[in-house]
Amino acid sequence: MGFRNLGLLGSFAKEGLEKAFSLGKFFCFLHVTDTYLVTFVVTSGPSMLPTIDLIPTMFLGERISTRFGKVTRGDIVIIRSPQNPRKLIAKRLAGMEDDTVTYISNPDEPDKQETIVVPKGHVWIQGDNAYKSNDSRNFGAVPYGLIQHRLFWRVWPIKGFGPFWKH
Amino acid sequence: MGSSSFLWNFTKKFVTFGIITVTVSDRYVTVVPVRGGSMSPTLNPKTSSSAGNFSDDYVLVEKFCVDKYRFSHGDVVVFSSPLNHKERHIKRIVALSGEWFGSRQNYDVLKVPEGHCWVEGDNAAFSMDSKSFGPIPLGLIRGRVTHVVWPPQRIGAIQSPPRERLSSL
């Protein structure tokens, strides 16, 4: 009798363990998709106006082209801020390594242009809204390794749903 | 029929195992080999003598520190090189953001910018570090080295900063 009870208890425990294990597997699967394939990104703020709205907008970001160095000029990417590693920022790639970039450091004085060459292993990022964007004009070129994802699909708000690579 | 289901089971187990391994090594802890002598004598104390890789140290890298990006002086960290994002380097943090830091080469005093840190190899003579590429953003850091796990006679925790370093702070 006692033996049979133990068997019942054991099967409960086994079932619980199996549940926990499959939950763990699911978590691992999520992590791998998130880190190596695609992930959801929510952006907000004025720095990418008019391409990306001020209000929170949801995108799909992919990590395949960033991993293999296939991102190019004009792509909109999510970058870990060089000034605060806990913050992610969305900016447009304005120059890859060895590119010559000419930019206006202060949009109120459009005559004052500056030209630099992007150093090796770095990229030049700029927001579309030159008036309100903290970007490479401020902190210089950033290492490629800070790039997290490339935005490729707009998900929310629903009326903007669709591909997002030719903007 | 029987063999194909065996194959299917095997593949499933294999993939599951792979996914779990990748997750653990990305998020929690991993083991990596150390190449080169830039961190000698803390890591790879005698690389110059042997050409082979069999004397390389293997180190334990913890990834928890990357959640909050909190680091302290003397931490040995793994980061992706600012010059080539595919390369990983292991160096020691010498100064953190906002600190004034005197380099021993040219006696310049410079301030480490916000969100950056100054990294140097323990073997100052053979090290490609902040002396050549400047301070690096904390966002490039991928993990912190805590222990040497191989070879067996060198198993142990990483030593805190070697002597002369303290004078430069």
Summarize pLDDT for B135-145 with one digit per residue, the tens: 899 999 999 99
Q: What is the pLDDT of residue A52?
A: 86
Q: What is the pLDDT of residue B104?
A: 61
Could you list the active site residues of B? 38, 91
Work out the average pLDDT over B40-64: 74
**Spatial distance between the Cα atoms of B89 and B35, rounded to a whole number of angstroms:** 9
Closest CA to B90 of B58, B50, B115, B53: B58
Closest CA to B129 of B166, B100, B161, B103: B103
Is it the case that residue B1 has pLDDT exceeding 70? Answer: no
Measured between CA atoms, how close is B86 to chain A, in angstroms?
Answer: 8
**Spatial distance between the Cα atoms of A109 and A54, rounded to a whole number of angstroms:** 25
Of B79, B81, B113, the CB nearest to A121: B81
Measured between CA atoms, how close is A80 to chain B, in angstroms?
Answer: 6
CA dist B51 to B36, B56, B117, B128, Å? 10, 10, 32, 20
Closest CA to A42 of A54, A28, A26: A54
Work out the average pLDDT over B119-132: 82
Closest CA to B79 of A80, A137, A107: A80
Domains of chain B, start order:
30-166 (2.10.109.10)
Q: Is A135 helix (H, G, I), strand (E, B) or coil?
A: coil
Instruction: Kindly report the pTM of this predicted structure.
Output: 0.82
Is it the case that residue B2 has pLDDT exceeding 70? Answer: no
**Residue A91 contacts residue A48 (beta carbons within 8 Å):** yes
Q: What is the pLDDT of residue A6?
A: 65
pLDDT 10s per residue in chain A (167 long)?
Answer: 455 566 778 888 899 999 998 999 999 999 999 999 999 999 988 888 888 888 899 999 999 999 888 898 999 999 999 999 999 999 999 999 889 998 888 878 877 888 999 999 999 999 998 888 889 988 999 999 999 999 999 998 888 888 887 66
Chain B interface disruption, residue of A22, A71, A88, A146, most B CBs within 10 A: A146
Chain A interface disruption, residue of B13, B84, B117, B133, most A CBs within 10 A: B84
A95-120: pLDDT as tens digits: 998 899 988 888 788 778 889 999 99
**Spatial distance between the Cα atoms of A134 and B162, rounded to a whole number of angstroms:** 39
The answer to whether residue A21 neighbours chain B at the CB level (below 8 Å) is no
Interface of A with B in 108-137 (CB under 8 A): 120-122
**Spatial distance between the Cα atoms of B96 and B94, rounded to a whole number of angstroms:** 7
